[in-house]
Amino acid sequence: MEFRPCIDIHNGYVKQIVGSSLKDENNEAVNNFVSDKDGAYYANLFKENNLKGGHVILLNPVDSDYRKASEEQAKCALLAFPDGLQIGGGINEENAWRYLDMGASHVIVTSYVFRCGRVNMENLEKISKCVGKDRLVIDLSCRKLDGEYKIVTDRWQNFTDISLNKETLDMFSGYCDEFLVHAVDVEGKSKGIEEDVVKILADGCGIPVTYAGGIHDYKDIETIRDAGKQKVNFTIGSALDIYGGDLLFDRVVSYDAR
């Protein structure tokens, strides 16, 4: 089990937001924390602690007036920790290598592959071939519907008909190196994790996977360790002290098996 830190960037600032509140219109989001430090500060912190595999997420869409400012933040983070961070948010076949050339170890795809409640297999095959399976991460963020966890698209607002299960994980693992899975109903709320999601990932995933969503105390980390059979990595945002929360960064790092 590894701690995979995050750097979320919105409107040119490193932030922590309530994930389900994000809207493209007017670049709106409910902020939990807005940092006065830049992406390089956090990237250097992660580098000093040998925390490879964290992710930088650009929360503004590619046509946003704030996209350029957010990309500048991302660039300074990637340059500070070359080959140590993944990047996601508006990634597609045409721009993926630009971020890899900036220093990202992997690109993370979401809307390029999942949109309007469907998976675009043609785009998935394109991006996998473009960057190579070993440099691609697929975001399989999910919400519960009728007793099942379904992959969600379009800022996590629309359900697909794709369930999060072993068959789905096996299928998508043929195209990527890792998965990033947000439990959307608890993302950014620091009120507890979705343990059932962790169990699905532990039992069904044959490649590295990072769970995100709801961690609010050290017991949650221990639950991920146990329910995840020490195979599921974890990330923490709003609850971490470097982002205004109560969990001590140094103590969280101590849970990292590395």
Q: pLDDT digit string (tens) for 113-150?
A: 987 778 899 999 999 999 999 999 999 999 999 999 99
Q: What is the 3-state secondary structure (H, E, C) of 177-226?
A: CEEEEEECCCCCCCCCCCHHHHHHHHHHCCCCEEEECCCCCHHHHHHHHH
User: Side-chain half-sphere of 198: how many Cα atoms within 13 Å?
Assistant: 26
| Distance, CA of 159 to CA of 92 (rounded, Å) | 21
Phi and psi torsions of 215, nearest 5°: -60, 125
Q: pLDDT digit string (tens) for 43-78?
A: 999 999 999 999 999 988 888 888 999 999 999 999
Question: pLDDT higher for 29 or 82?
Answer: 82
Q: pLDDT digit string (tens) for 203-218?
A: 999 999 999 999 999 9
pLDDT at 110 over 80: yes
3-state SS class at 28:
strand
User: Side-chain half-sphere of 108: how many Cα atoms within 13 Å?
Assistant: 23
Q: pLDDT digit string (tens) for 171-206?
A: 999 999 999 999 998 876 667 899 999 999 999 999
* pLDDT of the residue at 18: 59
Model confidence, pTM: 0.92
**Mean pLDDT across the chain, nearest whole number?**
92
